[in-house]
Structure 1
Amino acid sequence: MRQDPSPQAREVARAAARWLARMEFDGDDFDCAALQRWRDSSAHHEAAWQKAQRLRQRFAGVPPSLGMATLDRPALPRRAVLKRALGVAALVPTAWLLGRELPLEVWRADLHTATGEQRRWSLADGSALQLNTDSALDLDLKSRRLVLVQGEMALNVKGGTPLAIQAPFGLISVSRSEVCVRLSEHSCRVSVLSGSVQLQPLHGPMLTLKEGEQVNLQASGAGPVSAFDAAQLGWRDGVLVAQNQPLGDFLRELGRYRPGVLRWDQALEPLRVTGSFRLENTDRILALLSASLPVHVQTRTRYWVTLTLRKKVA
């Protein structure tokens, strides 16, 4: 199970985020010498700064000026915006360092994807690895172990020497098989696309999962084995597939691929969606929903979107 970082580690992370916030808002007035003194004062400070810089690159597409003042509030002076960003974690990338990206395991992970991003890697043994949106993974290839820290992954191991996937709720041994693993707050879903894998839950006996089967691992052990629809793994090809799916469920899944806030009226929940949607442009997906369903898309900013039930014209 994941261990919470110490209060000291959290404070160093917050300090790194505050320095990033000052860099974003101060511009030419930023005190580079003061930042350098902070970095030089501790190896922990320097390590946190380097991690924060890499994480900042993941949010490169989010404008630094995006804050609470842009979301239905009058414009504030730059210093006031900075004070608010540092004080109440406004919706700017550096504040997301404080909120979304803690605990620090995500900072320290070897491989990351940003929100809406899917990436592929080829491992030294020929295995193929892919991470879905907002995911993080640690690699320990010497002991042939991958640690899924956050999000969702796919792994295709062609050789007979097993690779182990360590998840918070159990260990998955993969050889000559292809598997997808998705973490949520209270469970870990394992789906086998080809071959078979061995699962060792935290509690309970080891079990074998075969092609076309999936199971949820929880703190209490493994749930029932069931069949799964391969379309739910369309993310590997950058596609979100729905087959007569309730719109509420579809939007909850779509929200994983959009930075910022996506909200909708409860009246939209029971509407049905069918189709294949390219994840590379989620704004287009919302436009397609509006064109095919009685859905009105209200865009406050690119990062704050609300869907409402469109009223019928008399």
Structure 2
Amino acid sequence: MMQATLTTDMPENDAPVSRVTLQQAIEWQLCMHSGEATEQDRQGLQRWLDAHPSHARVWQQLKEIDAAFQPASGKSVRQALLKRSSGRKTRIAGTALALLLTVLGLCAVNRYQPVDQLLADYRTGTGERRTIVLPDQTIVRMNTRSAIDLAFDTHRRAIVLHEGEIEVETSHDDPNETRPFIVLTPDTSLRALGTRFIVRDVDRGEGTRLTVTYSAVVARPATCAAEPQAHCDGERIVREGETVVVRDGKVSEPEQAPADADAWKDGMLVVENRPLGEVAAELARHRLGYLSVDPRVAQLRITGTLPLDDTDQALLALTAAAPVEIVSATHWWARIQPRPPQQAAQAARN
């Protein structure tokens, strides 16, 4: 059962923005970043932003979308289009349409399968999970948007996790197998001690999380050699039921791992008293398109179970449990925002 507690003030006006307003915002954005904007244009933009609360809201939404796609392309979609366009407002409508189509195209490609994962030995797209059996009969379960390479040689059995999340269940079928089994990430080397464990690339630059669900794993920061015979002062043995994060050359103190850390294998997201912003970020990993949360409700506390294979249903469950609504301009863009007060009051009475 989904539950939520409110810790933020509710707004007075949160009606969904119209398509006309969205189109106007796109035209203003293209105008202001064309390199030809005048002081009169800037004053006109400010008057438009001040004219209605929805104008500022959709202006912020466009900036979020632009920023979301910038890391994949190295520059914003808007910049790429404007570099080839020197027209003024007579051509803005056509450029706006091109912007929308380009955003949708990038969303379809990069949101389903990140470009930098295409050459990996094994990979999963957005919303996809798969199970693979390695040459030594080790089982690897891959979560959404994950990519790994195999690096088996005469000295070790290694998996390189480039992105995403995997569960490893090492095999013991061959009593003559003496090569260590290691998972490598930019932050760490993780050596299995006859075990089952989960490794997740927390976020780019934010470290690697290890959760041990059976037996134990030796975690070393990347500053140490991966070979077990090499001494490493920074290594730590992480035992069953513990979780750590390896970041900046250090292995954190172990904490108790959530009992449902591997629920994603069964297509479920189990959350207990977590902020709505974190819950939405997790759902976004499994959802095609762009999903964001209004800061005014990002700190709502959520407890419950959500389906990962149907994120539309998961979002619907959130609206039933919390005073929020889902606003979507297209199938590729959705935002969780506060429910209008009158609707929230009606829902409370029901």
TM over 0.5, shorter chain? yes
Match status 1:168 vs 2:197: no
Which residues of structure 2 form unaligned runs of 5+? 1-76, 79-91, 224-232, 346-350
Q: Residues 308 and 95 (structure 1 numbering): CA distance in 2 closer, same or farther, change over 3 Å?
A: closer
Matched letter for residue 171 of structure 2: K
Aligned to 2:4: none
SS in 2 for 1:232: coil
Deviation at 1:272, TM superposition (A): 2.4
Q: Residues 126 and 255 (structure 1 numbering): CA distance in 2 closer, same or farther, change over 3 Å?
A: same
How many residues are treated as equivalent by the alignment? 235
Residue deviations 1:252-303 (CA, integer Å, cap 9, x gap) = 2111111221112112123222221121100011111112221111121111
- Higher alpha-carbon deviation: 177-186 or 203-212: 203-212
1:119/1:132 contact within 8 Å kept: yes
Deviation at 1:124, TM superposition (A): 2.6
Kindly report which structure 2 residues correspond to 1:4-43, keeping only aligned pairs within 5 A, or say none.
none
SS in 2 for 1:91: helix
Kindly report which structure 2 residues correspond to 1:29-108, keeping only aligned pairs within 5 A, or say none.
76=94, 81=98, 90-93=103-106, 96=109, 101-102=114-115, 104=116, 106-108=117-119
Deviation at 1:97, TM superposition (A): 5.1
* Alignment counterpart, residue 191 of structure 1, candidates 205, 211, 217: 211
Q: Residues 85 and 311 (structure 1 numbering): CA distance in 2 closer, same or farther, change over 3 Å?
A: closer
Deviation at 1:101, TM superposition (A): 3.2
1:136/1:151 contact within 8 Å kept: yes
Aligned-partner Cα distance in 2 for 1:215–1:275: 24
Q: Residues 76 and 230 (structure 1 numbering): CA distance in 2 closer, same or farther, change over 3 Å?
A: farther
SS in 2 for 1:259: coil
SS in 2 for 1:200: strand
Match status 1:154 vs 2:153: no
Aligned to 2:308: 279
Aligned-partner Cα distance in 2 for 1:270–1:97: 28
Larger Rg: 2
SS in 1 for 2:118: helix
Matched letter for residue 168 of structure 2: L
Match status 1:234 vs 2:245: no
Deviation at 1:141, TM superposition (A): 2.9
Aligned to 1:116: 127
CA RMSD of aligned residues (A): 2.8
- Higher alpha-carbon deviation: 299-308 or 219-228: 219-228
Match status 1:254 vs 2:274: no
Match status 1:307 vs 2:336: yes
Q: Residues 276 and 95 (structure 1 numbering): CA distance in 2 closer, same or farther, change over 3 Å?
A: closer
Match status 1:130 vs 2:141: yes
SS in 1 for 2:261: helix
Aligned to 1:210: 239
Which residues of structure 1 form unaligned runs of 5+? 1-66, 69-73
What TM-score, normalized by structure 1, do the two folds share?
Answer: 0.67
Aligned-partner Cα distance in 1 for 2:93–2:127: 29
* Alignment counterpart, residue 269 of structure 1, candidates 270, 276, 298: 298
Identity %: 30
SS in 2 for 1:266: coil
Matched letter for residue 185 of structure 1: R
Matched letter for residue 327 of structure 2: Q
Residue deviations 1:67-109 (CA, integer Å, cap 9, x gap) = 99xxxxx9859xx73xx589xx5331488459x835x4x2221
SS in 2 for 1:230: coil
Relative contact order, higher structure (CA 8 A, sep 6+): 2
1:116/1:256 contact within 8 Å kept: yes
SS in 2 for 1:214: strand
Matched letter for residue 171 of structure 1: S
Aligned to 1:222: 251
2:108/2:288 contact within 8 Å kept: no
